[in-house]
């Protein structure tokens, strides 16, 4: 049997980052990489963490698991021949997956290598910020623990580091919105709101 055994929480966290119906089809799955990491990205946020599988895979594998990872599962066994993922939750959940053809992008080049620096202000999409926080909470199971956020410039990627004792090297990367463009959009929206209010009052 050709199987991979990894921590189910890594799969659950990675699912939060994978694309949904993206035209870049390779982003619609989770990459179990030959470099020892599990990776996922929807083009705006990304996730990377060591998957702990000690053997060489012979190449990257991109899979799209059909269904959510059970919250109580700790271990996931991926059967590469049967295209199934079995979990160790009480129900013994079994999910199928599809392989996705393609070459997964080199997401490592997006991760800032510079020293973090103070940032006065940034424009961040709330939904993406919430997703990174949710995924990090999944790794340690404590919604109050949070994560470490590293800033590298007002328009540079934000690195989110896990506080999980089991997955200390797990990271997420969040791309901010362009600050000047966001300010312009805000002023346009305020102007439209003022005009609507004036029309109503007239």
Give the CATH number, domain containing residue 112.
3.10.150
CB count in 10 Å sphere of residue 67: 12
Q: Total structural domains in the chain? A: 1
Rounded distance between C-alpha atoms, residue 28 and residue 16, angstroms: 11
User: In this predicted structure, what is the pLDDT of residue 197?
Assistant: 54
State which residues form the domain around 119.
3-201
pLDDT band at 188; cut points 50, 70, 90: very low
Q: What is the 3-state secondary structure (H, E, C) of 14-43?
A: HHCCCCCCCCCHHHHCEEECCCCEEEEECC
Residues 39-91: tens digit of each pLDDT: 999 999 999 999 987 666 788 999 999 999 999 999 999 999 999 999 999 99
Residues forming beta bridges with residue 74, ordered by sequence position: none
With pLDDT > 90 as the criterion, what percentage of the chain qualifies? 63
Report the chain's C-alpha Rg in angstroms. 20
């Amino acid at each position: 049997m050709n199987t991979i055994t990894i921590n189910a929480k890594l799969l659950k966290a990675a699912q939060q980052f994978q694309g949904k119906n993206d035209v870049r089809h390779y982003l619609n799955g989770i990459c179990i990489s030959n470099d020892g990491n599990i990776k996922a990205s929807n083009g705006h946020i990304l996730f990377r963490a060591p998957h702990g599988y000690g053997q060489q895979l012979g190449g990257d594998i991109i899979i799209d698991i059909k269904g959510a990872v059970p919250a109580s599962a700790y271990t996931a066994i991926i059967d590469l021949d049967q295209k199934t993922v079995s979990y160790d939750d009480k129900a013994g959940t079994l999910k199928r997956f599809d392989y996705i053809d393609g070459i997964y992008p080199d997401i490592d080049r997006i991760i800032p290598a510079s020293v973090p620096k103070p940032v006065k202000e940034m424009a961040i999409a709330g939904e993406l910020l919430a997703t990174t926080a949710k995924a990090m909470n999944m790794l340690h199971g404590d919604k109050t623990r949070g994560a470490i956020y590293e800033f590298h410039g007002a328009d540079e990627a934000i690195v989110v580091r896990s506080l999980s004792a089991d997955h200390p090297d797990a990271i997420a990367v969040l791309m901010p919105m362009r600050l000047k463009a966001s300010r312009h959009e805000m002023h346009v929206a305020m102007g439209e709101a003022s005009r609507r209010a004036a029309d109503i009052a007239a």
